[in-house]
Amino acid sequence: MTNFWPHSAYKTLTISPDGQLLVTDDFLRTYLQSPELSLVPESCAVEQALHQRLTQNPRSELTDQEIANMADEDIQENYRVWLRYRSRLLAASSLESFYMSLFKGDGVDVPPLFVSQLAQIFVRHILGEEAHPLEARMGELFFRTQKISVLDDGIVMGADHEVVDRNAQGGETGNIMDLLKGKSMTSRSADLDVLHEENAQEYWARDEDFDLAVQLNFGHEAINQFSRLLEKWILHFLGVQVRITPMQQIQDPRWSWHVGLDACATVILNKLYNKDVLDADELEKIICLFRLDFIDEAAVTKVQAGKPVYMAIAMNELQQLKLKPQNLLFNLPLAKTS
């Protein structure tokens, strides 16, 4: 049993009898410890007093005037954003229902960082205490942008974009950078920085470093574990059992539904479905295709019954993979429920 991602705030939540996550005071306090709200030596007396009150009772109400009395206008705005966010959190029946509500209406109106943090918490919850390390590594795609590199021999590698960018800015050429440049695939150091089946247990010692690259080619175990995680994500939020199978191409005259798992994949799948001509550069952005089949046919609209849903992940112009896991929660052809 492994308690991975301990700083995700997952352990501050409670779990309802039906497996949903419930907000606690300790969970709310984690936001007060964030850089946006935590105290600094320059914090004025009013800010210090309000922060102490919220630490003692994170559900305490603050008036507009109290916020306006803080000396730093940026801190004032940070508090206003968080209090709006907190209000919606506390009004929801569970963290899951709150997350679903974020993508309805006029669009997401909370900081993207908060949305990513919630995705990490849900993946942590869904994987439980006995997760496969490759499944956990692929879970990082749900809340951290990946830098994609296609090596000369067709190997597709993904590494954490923030880590790669930080190394590049620091002028370092560590193993990950070498790997993404195709220099260390056969060297001993690659075994330490590329996570695969043989060294998978190394993930637990580095689970919050986000510094392990992974191969994303069709047929590799990481993509298989990603498929299992997508299935669990759908089951947890929608209560629908599906089977997801990686694919190399779509050859289906009955193709009637698809879902892009990121913005770039959505554009490409739309073009393929409409039989638009795609140039080679666009097609090369596709990392992997997937077929989704519903195990519970009653959950599907009648017109889609017995037909698969095709999915894809793809890199954008900057060679980034920015997963949008919420697409799976709102874009499947599910039958209406009363």
Task: Give per-residue pLDDT as tens, 264-311.
Answer: 999 999 999 999 999 999 999 999 999 999 998 899 999 999 999 999
Instruction: Give one DSSP letter per residue of 96-162, joined into a string.
Output: HHHHHHHTSTT---S-HHHHHHHHHHHHHHHHTTS--HHHHHHHGGGTS-EEEEE-TTS-EEEEEHH
CB 114 within 8 A of CB 85: yes
Q: Is residue 134 part of a domain?
A: no
Output the pLDDT for position 106: 65
Q: Is residue 136 part of a domain?
A: no
- Do 209 and 318 have their domain in common? no
Identify which has the larger pLDDT, 102 or 192. 102
- Do 121 and 10 have their domain in common? yes
Output the pLDDT for position 179: 55
- Do 211 and 234 have their domain in common? no
CB 332 within 8 A of CB 238: yes
Query: In Å, what is the CA distance from 220 to each residue of 23, 161, 262?
Result: 37, 21, 21
Instruction: Give one DSSP letter per residue of 24-53, joined into a string.
Output: -HHHHHHHHTSTTTS--TT--HHHHHHHHH
Output the pLDDT for position 107: 64
Task: Give per-residue pLDDT as tens, 252-268.
Answer: 988 999 999 999 999 99
- Do 284 and 311 have their domain in common? yes
Domain span at 39: 6-127
Task: Give per-residue pLDDT as tens, 117-152.
Answer: 999 999 999 999 999 999 999 999 999 999 999 988
Mean pLDDT of 304-320: 96
Whether residue 177 has pLDDT greater than 80: no
Output the pLDDT for position 2: 75
Whether residue 185 has pLDDT greater than 50: no
- Do 70 and 93 have their domain in common? yes
How do beta strands 156-160 and 146-150 pair?
A: antiparallel
Which one, of 116, 113, 34, lies nearest residue 75 by Cα?
34
Mean pLDDT of 189-216: 86
Q: Is residue 135 part of a domain?
A: no
- Do 187 and 250 have their domain in common? no
Q: Which helix (H) or strand (E) holds 214?
A: strand 213-215
Identify which has the larger pLDDT, 154 or 233. 233
**Domain limit, last residue, from 84, 101, 127:** 127
Output the pLDDT for position 338: 38
Output the pLDDT for position 176: 55
Whether residue 178 has pLDDT greater than 50: yes
- Number of domains making up the chain: 3
pTM, two decimal places: 0.92
Whether residue 69 has pLDDT greater than 80: yes
3-class state of residue 95 by DSSP: helix
Band of residue 109 on the pLDDT scale cut at 50, 70, 90: confident
In this prediction, what percent of the chain has a pLDDT beyond 90?
83
- Do 206 and 229 have their domain in common? no
- Do 209 and 242 have their domain in common? no
Report the amino acid identity of residue 300.
V
- Do 83 and 178 have their domain in common? no
**Domain limit, last residue, from 127, 156, 176:** 127
Q: Is residue 138 part of a domain?
A: no
Band of residue 210 on the pLDDT scale cut at 50, 70, 90: very high
Output the pLDDT for position 234: 97
CB 221 within 8 A of CB 273: no
**Domain limit, last residue, from 100, 127, 154:** 127
Q: Is residue 185 part of a domain?
A: yes
Whether residue 183 has pLDDT greater than 90: no
Output the pLDDT for position 113: 92
Report the amino acid identity of residue 131.
A
- Do 241 and 173 have their domain in common? no
Q: Is residue 336 part of a domain?
A: no
Whether residue 192 has pLDDT greater than 60: no
CB 262 within 8 A of CB 256: no
CB 31 within 8 A of CB 22: no
- Do 164 and 243 have their domain in common? no
In this prediction, what percent of the chain has a pLDDT beyond 70?
91
Output the pLDDT for position 187: 36
CB 268 within 8 A of CB 320: no
Q: Is residue 61 part of a domain?
A: yes
Mean pLDDT of 12-29: 98
- Do 191 and 248 have their domain in common? no
Q: Is residue 1 part of a domain?
A: no
